[in-house]
Structure 1
Amino acid sequence: MSEPKSFTVHISDQAISDLNQRLDLTRWPDQVDDVGWTQGAELNYLRELVQYWRNEFDWRAQEAKINQLDQFTLEFDGLTTHFIHQRSPHANARPLLLNHGWPGSIIEFLDVIPRLTQPEKFGGRAEDAFHVVAPSLPGYGFSEAAHTLGMNTRAIAARHVELMKRLGYERFICQGGDWGAMITRQLADLAPEHCEAIHLNMVLAGPIDKERPMEGVTEAEIKRVEEDAAFSRSEMGYFKIQATKPQSLGYALNDSPVGLCGWLTEKFQRWTDCQGEIRNAVSWDTLLANISWYWFSGSITSAMRLYYEHRQHKDTVQKISVPTGAAIYPVELYRPPKAWVEATYNLVHWHEAGRGGHFAALEQPQDFVEDIWRFRSALED
């Protein structure tokens, strides 16, 4: 059985020079006047962001921040997985598996992992501590992509169970948003003997009673359901493209850093609690660190392929039995009524945040972590 190998991110000077040359040679498209972000990434905003990427963004500083955390790779079942494994100094720490999504990455967790492993430094208690494992999903970042079909959310969940077991964690708590939420659901269904509880910041739940879907739902929640449905109708085109033709899109995004930047930046503008300006939610340095992670690893095509896999093998989990915590952020893509969540999950903790969107750990790291602390307390009561 192979052992974890220490891993340090180091992008070559040649790769950085290549990126800069490609940015310099960008052939910009036109844009209709006064459309803002309605047709995608706004041209003038993206020009300014790319100028910052080219001339001011410091990848080496971001690389150093990533490398402050303990990273490893481990080969098992024919693929190599890259992951952060940050152990807490506290003896009572519980193992926690963090699952990211798209277009996020482990970059989402850089500011929350220190809070989780050493909570006493961030307003928490030593007894709130966790040992944190944060894998890059297969085909994301520096985790090897599957070479055959079938790497769907359930297959990833099975890999993550195996990873945790190989790290010595037979029982652990699992957390996720976006694809990470779907993987977490699958993991709880697949291996409840290993997954003792789950915490979700994108909660997937629908009405159980199809004839009376709004029974037990408040007026405010009905309004949210209607808002989310309208948002889905106008903002989910990317999903259909990536779920049907990820390879075709990949040729463009893997070859053009500005194409990649435009595709991902638009999601951050639409999905964060930013009031129209991304920097109200996430700094440009953090945004570009995440985009650069995709660029330097060359992983955007394999990452998008998860949408295709999901279309072939949809999430059919009906009921989750393990204790569940739900954090609802006001600008999340999907915000189900509490009654729907209670009917689907063994709900023991519910939190409605005052601010934040789809990238909760990035946008509101302290609130995100404090809610995980509260969830842990609920489990121990």
Structure 2
Amino acid sequence: KKALQRALEQIDTASGFMLQQGQRPATVGLALSASPLALLSWIGEKFLAWTDGDFPLDKILESVTLYWMTDTFPRTMYHNRGLANAHDKPKIARTSVVCKMTALQLPYVEKPCGYSLFAKEIFPVPKTWAELSCRLVSFNQHAQGGHFAAMENPRALLADVEAYIKKAWTADDSAK
């Protein structure tokens, strides 16, 4: 219940970035690619707001430096175009979809899926909702970690990935 309240608060007060990235990703991407300070401010504030506790400055700078040196951050924004109505052509994020989070009509994923839910994730999805969208074979919930779980709680995430692989991977006995 607390996680859903946090998600609603995030949508209400801090979801503008999704619309910007989903409606004008090339514009935002170009602006962020033009200045390392702009990139640091865009990414850095998310590390500060979306993590479970104080995130080390050196880790923020490492991440931003990697994006800056490879000029890859603009491409990370295009997935937000998926926040569109199913029939939209071209896909463009819509406020109505972001606010309701009900218009998304995603296909059911038949392949085995795994889901790790970290306590401070900004848009937590309840396990029951995840089960409606995919064949969930592995689920783990953690008391620590947020949106950047791979950096905040890497051991827990690695253990989850390993557990998922053991459950989802099927060996081809005929290949032996």
TM-score grouping bracket, smaller chain normalisation: 0.7 to 0.9
For the 8 Å contact 2:6–2:122, the answer to whether it is kept is no
Mapping 1:314-325, distance limit 5 Å: 316-325=105-114
How far residue 265 of structure 1 moved from its aligned partner, in angstroms, is 0.2
2:159 to 351, 367, 370: 370
Mapping 1:43-58, distance limit 5 Å: none
1:154-206 Cα shifts (integer Å, max 9, x gaps): xxxxxxxxxxxxxxxxxxxxxxxxxxxxxxxxxxxxxxxxxxxxxxxxxxxxx
The 1:321/1:290 distance shift into structure 2, 3 A limit, reads same
Alpha-carbon distance in 1 for matches of 2:5, 2:83: 25
Mapping 1:1-381, distance limit 5 Å: 222-274=1-53, 277-279=54-56, 284-308=57-81, 311=84, 312-313=90-91, 316-379=105-168
Relative contact order: is structure 1 or structure 2 higher (C-alpha 8 Å, sep ≥ 6)? 2
For the 8 Å contact 2:121–2:146, the answer to whether it is kept is yes
The 1:266/1:375 distance shift into structure 2, 3 A limit, reads same
How far residue 223 of structure 1 moved from its aligned partner, in angstroms, is 3.4
The 1:357/1:255 distance shift into structure 2, 3 A limit, reads same
Alpha-carbon distance in 2 for matches of 1:267, 1:229: 17
How far residue 350 of structure 1 moved from its aligned partner, in angstroms, is 1.5
Q: Secondary structure at the match of 1:307?
A: helix
Alpha-carbon distance in 2 for matches of 1:302, 1:347: 28
1:43-86 Cα shifts (integer Å, max 9, x gaps): xxxxxxxxxxxxxxxxxxxxxxxxxxxxxxxxxxxxxxxxxxxx
1:122-167 Cα shifts (integer Å, max 9, x gaps): xxxxxxxxxxxxxxxxxxxxxxxxxxxxxxxxxxxxxxxxxxxxxx
Alpha-carbon distance in 2 for matches of 1:332, 1:256: 28
How far residue 302 of structure 1 moved from its aligned partner, in angstroms, is 4.2
Q: Secondary structure at the match of 2:41?
A: helix
- Identity in percent: 26
The 1:320/1:299 distance shift into structure 2, 3 A limit, reads closer
The 1:320/1:257 distance shift into structure 2, 3 A limit, reads same
For the 8 Å contact 2:113–2:168, the answer to whether it is kept is no
Q: Say how many residue pairs are matched.
A: 154
Structure with the bigger percentage of helix: 2
Q: Secondary structure at the match of 1:356?
A: strand
Letter in 1 for 2:2: K
1:304-344 Cα shifts (integer Å, max 9, x gaps): 34434764448643312222221110011222222222222
The structure with the largest alpha-carbon Rg is 1
Relative to the length of structure 2, the TM-score reads: 0.74
Letter in 1 for 2:62: A
Q: Secondary structure at the match of 1:335?
A: coil
